[in-house]
Amino acid sequence: MQFDLLPHEEQALDFYEEQIKETQEPELKKQLLQYYFDYLSSLHTIEKEYRNTMVKHEQEMESKDLEYRALRADRRRNRPSREPSESDVE
């Protein structure tokens, strides 16, 4: 999945990556890797939820558009034909 990261999200990932590379202490490196993993997991969850929400929104909008078109078509079909009135003739 391709992420559309915000600048602060990219900066946070860069920070974790830099700290992981520079850290010599195994226990600290392990904790940093866990934080990095948790952060990536959170970003993935947010991205999935966002995309699912957008798909649902688009489907709802399409459904409403189809309903609106059907109502308009139904009104046109049920509209009585207009007979010219005397004022129209004059």
pLDDT in tens, 22-61: 999 999 999 999 999 999 999 999 999 999 999 999 999 9
Instruction: Tell me the pLDDT band of 70, cut-offs 50, 70 and 90.
Output: confident
> For the whole model, what pTM was predicted?
0.61
Which residue do the tokens 């409403």 mark?
64
**Residue 83 scores a pLDDT above 60:** yes
CA distance 32 to 11: 15
Domain ranges of the chain: 29-73
What distance in Å separates the CA atoms of residue 4 and residue 17, rounded to the nearest whole number?
19
C-alpha dihedral, 26 to 15 to 38 to 6, nearest 10°: -170
Enter the DSSP assignment of 79. Answer: S
Question: Is the pLDDT at 90 greater than 60, yes or no?
Answer: no
Nearest to 12, CA basis, from 54, 3, 51: 3
Give yes or no for residue 73 having a pLDDT over 60.
yes
* Other beta carbons less than 10 A from residue 32's beta carbon: 20
